Amino acid sequence: MTMLKVRGVSRRFGGLTAVDDVSFDVHEGQIKALIGPNGAGKSTLFNCVTGFDTPHEGSVEFKGQQLVGRRPQVAVQMGLARTFQNTQLFDEMTAHENVMVGAAARHAAGFFAAALRLPTALAQEQEAAATASRLLRRTGIEEWADTFAADLPAGIRRLVEIARALATDPSMVLLDEPAAGLNATETAELVETLRRIRDDGVTVLVVEHDMGLVMEVSDEILVLDRGKKIAEGPPRMIQKDPLVIAAYLGEESDDG
């Protein structure tokens, strides 16, 4: 089944076309990666898909329903959850409380009510607490449950954010650069976590700059360069694709 169907999405900023007529599908049960050099348009496309930005052209269907022009909260309620490139945890809350916010976002009171600790029914709160505990175990970070977010190492923060997205009970999660700032051990743990998420039946779309992680974990890869889709296919194919190699080599020489 096609979980996400993106067709002809374009987004411009002034004279710059950040995303240029991009189409792709994500199938149920897949880990799909969106890669490309810095400035390729990954985050912009990601924001268009999750309703945080509106494309000038194109359509985004999630489970057969149009998402373009609808509020991000609608996507969450339909089962599409996301994380941000710069993690946005509530520093003065514990890891467990942060994940509870995600669980509460499913209920009518919503994400911000939960964040502000507005009164919610006790039953909902207990259910959210149980969900948060289960997801901290599932992401392998239960020992950090009572640590304030401000005191968490970078790799653990990233996993808390993923657990928080999972707490909204999504059928698909979109992760923006989950490996950014992680060391090799933390990245290896992240790979395991992504596989467990998929094995739990959650479809994954991951935006990632790091080719290593992507090659290891993805079922399929979509490559953007300067806003355009330049390749799409399984890791073995992408690794050998001359356009992809050129795009990444070009980036290295730009940096140097």
Q: Which stretch binds ligand ADP (CB under 6 A): 39-47, 67-75, 87-95, 113-121?
A: 39-47
CA atoms of 169 and 90, how far apart (whole Å): 20
User: Which is it for strands 65-66 and 228-233: parallel, antiparallel or unpaired?
Assistant: unpaired
Q: Does the footprint of ligand ADP cover residue 58 (CB under 6 A)? A: no
Q: Does the footprint of Mg ion cover residue 50 (CB under 5 A)? A: no
Count CB neighbours of 182 within 10 A. 22
Binders in 137-166 for Mg ion, by CB under 5 A: none
Count CB neighbours of 4 within 10 A. 22
Judged by beta carbon, residue 39 or residue 233, the one nearer ligand ADP is 39
CA atoms of 180 and 38, how far apart (whole Å): 13
Q: Does the footprint of ligand ADP cover residue 44 (CB under 6 A)? A: yes
Q: Does the footprint of Mg ion cover residue 43 (CB under 5 A)? A: yes
Beta strands (DSSP E) in the chain are 2-13, 16-27, 31-35, 57-62, 65-66, 80-82, 172-176, 203-207, 220-225, 228-233
The correct pick among 1, 15, 38, 184 for binding ligand ADP (CB under 6 A) is 38
Q: Does the footprint of ligand ADP cover residue 10 (CB under 6 A)? A: no
Closest listed residue to residue 36, CA positions, set 182, 184, 206, 165:
206
Judged by beta carbon, residue 49 or residue 166, the one nearer ligand ADP is 49
Q: At its nearest, how many Å lie between ligand ADP and the CB of residue 39?
A: 4
* Residues at the site binding Mg ion, with contacts judged by CB under 5 A: 42-43
Q: Which residues of the shown chain bind ligand ADP in the complex (CB under 6 A)? A: 13, 16, 18, 36, 38-44
